[in-house]
Amino acid sequence: MKNRKGSFLRGLLGLALLGTLSGCGTDLGVLHPDTVLFNGKIVTVDEDFSIAEAVAIKAGKFIAVGSNARIRGLAGDFTEVVDLEGRTVLPGFNDPHVHFAHTLGFEEDEWATRFRGTKSIQEILALVQERIDQTPAGELVWFFLGPGSPDRLEEGRYPNRRDLDPISPQNPVFLEYGGAGSNASANSLALRQAGITRRTPQPSTQNLIGEIMKDASGQPTGVLLGRGAVALAHRVLVRHSTDTLVKTIQHASEMVLPYGITTVGDPNTNVSGLRDNQTWVQAYQRLSARGDLTVRVNSIMRLPIPIQSTDEILEWLDHLLFDPGFGNDTLHLGQFKIVIYDSSPSYQVPRENVKKVIKAVHRAGWQLYIHVGGGESYDLAIEGLEEAHQEFPREDARHIITHARFPTDRILEVQSRYGIMVEPQTGNFYTMSDDYEERMADPDRPAYGPAPLRTYLDRGVSVMTGSDQGPVGPLFTIFEAVNRLRSSGKVINPEERITLEEAIRAVTITPAYSTFQEDLKGSIEPGKLADLVVLGRDILTVPPEEIKDIPVMRTMIGGEFVYTNPDPDPNQEVEYWYPTRGYRAVLEVPGS
């Protein structure tokens, strides 16, 4: 993963800047650092994981790293000099998988919060009626991130079109409940606009998950179960304006800054088709162009739902308005996500087409970001990637497997051979049941456990860790990577723990490498973007079980502090966000 050419060029840049600074005999601000941070413990995460005392910043980039005396000597009259008071500094965190704009961006939306708390169909109808009263006739009334399972409703079922139609004669209504099933309800007008009729074939006829619920006469009831069915309506009905998406992106940015996150990988820059992807990208581009994209973004676009053929994918890719790797310092586009489940029928891609789709995207020059749960889905993804590399050789493609649970020796061998990266979410350990490994074990498929980080690294596979929809915060993923604890206190596969240095790299330089930006960010070195996080306690010396309790005191992006903790107490309680659940919580582990 080392790029010595990039390190050499960064060194030349740093020497040139230092020569200019040290050789000038004037205090003009343009010839001195904009900012100097000193008296700190600066963990550079360079090749040697070296520690420095101070860093100088100019025009949004690090220009020098070293001792207090050397770096303070570069300051001029107009340089802002910041005393770190001994605090530990890390490169800005890069969370490579957090459901950013489409989930966090709406997380504190009043309607979503109230919808999530409903406990009966009558409460849902009352909420829908209130929204309709504030919505012009003809406009969609849409709720999402709701109560989840129908078991949480008093009636034990979701509302159907007969429940919804009397209160919504002039507005399409579409309710998405969240949860694992991703179920939904639609009124008759919404069904009509989505083209869902008694003649609409069930998703299962296309080997996809989902069912359009129908009554005895064959008419749709308005209840859509499973992602394949929900997508039929969502891709037609839910059309966010670019202005709306801009606001959600800005809100999501505000929510991640307190966790020291300076770059996110947003794997939900989609919903179900080409137009959705392009609208999201337009929102990101608008913010980036006007300098208002606070957090750097790797926009991971999802391929359309459903995918019918390789020809459809190739045509779809041809209509994109940008090439792989498009972007700048704040926005990167280069990865496409597909989702493969062990179940049959599948979710997005009929299983018989999975390998064809992988090859088509690989051949077109894009990175694949493949969601697998483990088991057969993992095997199938790796088979497709191996065949793609064999039939259409590409050097350094850096494809990625997300979740990446239960790999086999065969999978590890292919990953190591072709440089296929993995992105498990260690924070998920916390919420898994204590019998998870036993329930998921397959005696016919010998495999390593969930997120076997030590095994991955020892077999030469690059590892990065993201938050996904678990507790959001890289300090928590670091905590879990080195401890592997359940909320009950149970330790999961202790032999798969990794070192603290390895865990820090998994949320800094390795995610930067995954987007071909390891020479741009991910460590505190001259020539790189000045993104960093100031911690309340020293992550290198606190007991491993206390890492999750370290507060972020300040977050810097591009040389500017974009977040300062209003509480100066380094021992304050730390609350983590739970996306889709709508709350923050202090995460407790017995004995930690």
Instruction: For residue 576, give the CATH number of its domain.
Output: 2.30.40.10
Q: For the segment 167-221, what is each residue's pLDDT rounded down to a tens digit? A: 999 999 999 997 655 799 999 999 999 999 999 999 888 777 789 999 999 999 9
Q: Tell me if 175 is assigned to some domain.
A: yes
pLDDT at 22: 45
Residue 583 burial by Cβ neighbours in a 10 Å radius (0-12, 13-18, 19+): exposed
Considering the domain architecture, whether residues 189 and 223 belong to the same structural domain is answered as: yes
Tokens of 322: 């940008």
Choosing from 189, 220, 237, the residue where a domain stops is: 237
Considering the domain architecture, whether residues 122 and 230 belong to the same structural domain is answered as: yes
pLDDT at 99: 84
Task: Report residue 373 CA to chain centroid gap.
Answer: 16
Considering the domain architecture, whether residues 50 and 139 belong to the same structural domain is answered as: no
Considering the domain architecture, whether residues 111 and 216 belong to the same structural domain is answered as: yes
Is 454:496 a contact under the CB 8 Å cutoff?
yes
Task: Report residue 574 CA to chain centroid gap.
Answer: 21
Please tell me the distance from the alpha carbon of residue 41 to that of residue 85, in angstroms, as a whole number: 9
Pairing of strands 35-38, 54-58: antiparallel
Separation of first and last alpha carbons in the chain: 34
Q: Tell me if 187 is assigned to some domain.
A: yes
Domain that holds residue 225: 104-237
Collapse the DSSP code of 142 into the 3-class scheme (helix H, G, I; strand E, B; otherwise coil) and give the result.
strand
Instruction: Give me the amino acid identity at 495.
Output: E
pTM listed for this prediction? 0.89
Considering the domain architecture, whether residues 110 and 190 belong to the same structural domain is answered as: yes
Tokens of 363: 């051949």
Q: Tell me if 69 is assigned to some domain.
A: yes
Q: Tell me if 258 is assigned to some domain.
A: no
pLDDT at 555: 99
Please tell me the distance from the alpha carbon of residue 475 to that of residue 495, in angstroms, as a whole number: 21
Considering the domain architecture, whether residues 119 and 166 belong to the same structural domain is answered as: yes
pLDDT at 239: 75
Choosing from 187, 202, 237, the residue where a domain stops is: 237
Considering the domain architecture, whether residues 121 and 28 belong to the same structural domain is answered as: no
Please tell me the distance from the alpha carbon of residue 88 to that of residue 539, in angstroms, as a whole number: 7
pLDDT at 306: 61
Considering the domain architecture, whether residues 145 and 124 belong to the same structural domain is answered as: yes
Which DSSP category does 327 fall into?
Answer: E
Considering the domain architecture, whether residues 115 and 74 belong to the same structural domain is answered as: no
Q: Which residue is listed with tokens 């969601």?
A: 371
Q: Which helix (H) or strand (E) holds 302?
A: strand 296-302
Instruction: For residue 216, give the CATH number of its domain.
Output: 3.10.310.70
Considering the domain architecture, whether residues 134 and 211 belong to the same structural domain is answered as: yes
Own/partner contacts of 554-557, CB < 8 Å, gap of 24 or more, are: 555/92, 555/257, 555/258, 555/260, 555/261, 555/262, 556/92, 556/262, 556/530, 556/531, 556/532, 557/92, 557/262, 557/294, 557/295, 557/296, 557/530, 557/531
Choosing from 237, 262, 293, the residue where a domain stops is: 237
Q: Tell me if 293 is assigned to some domain.
A: no
Among candidates 208, 185, 182, 183, which has minimal Cα distance to 196? 185
Is 131:114 a contact under the CB 8 Å cutoff?
no
Tokens of 58: 């100019």
Q: Tell me if 481 is assigned to some domain.
A: no
Considering the domain architecture, whether residues 152 and 233 belong to the same structural domain is answered as: yes
Is 506:481 a contact under the CB 8 Å cutoff?
yes
pLDDT at 582: 58
Q: For the segment 57-100, what is each residue's pLDDT rounded down to a tens digit? A: 999 999 999 999 999 999 999 999 999 999 999 999 999 999 88
How many structural domains compose the chain?
2
The beta strand positions in 72-172, using DSSP E, are: 80-83, 88-91, 93-95, 141-143
Q: For the segment 242-272, what is each residue's pLDDT rounded down to a tens digit? A: 888 888 899 889 999 999 999 999 986 554 4
CA atoms within a 13 Å half-sphere pointing along the CA-CB vector of 264: 31
Q: Tell me if 495 is assigned to some domain.
A: no
Q: Tell me if 288 is assigned to some domain.
A: no
Burial 236-268 (b: 16+ CB within 10 A, else e): bbeebebeebbbbbbbbbebbbbbbbbbbbbbb
Considering the domain architecture, whether residues 209 and 118 belong to the same structural domain is answered as: yes
Q: Is the peptide bond before 33 cis (omega within 30 degrees of 0)?
A: no
Collapse the DSSP code of 250 into the 3-class scheme (helix H, G, I; strand E, B; otherwise coil) and give the result.
helix
Q: Which residues of the chain have pLDDT under 70?
A: 1-30, 105-109, 179-181, 268-278, 304-310, 321, 342-348, 579-584, 591-592
Instruction: Give me the amino acid identity at 544.
Output: P
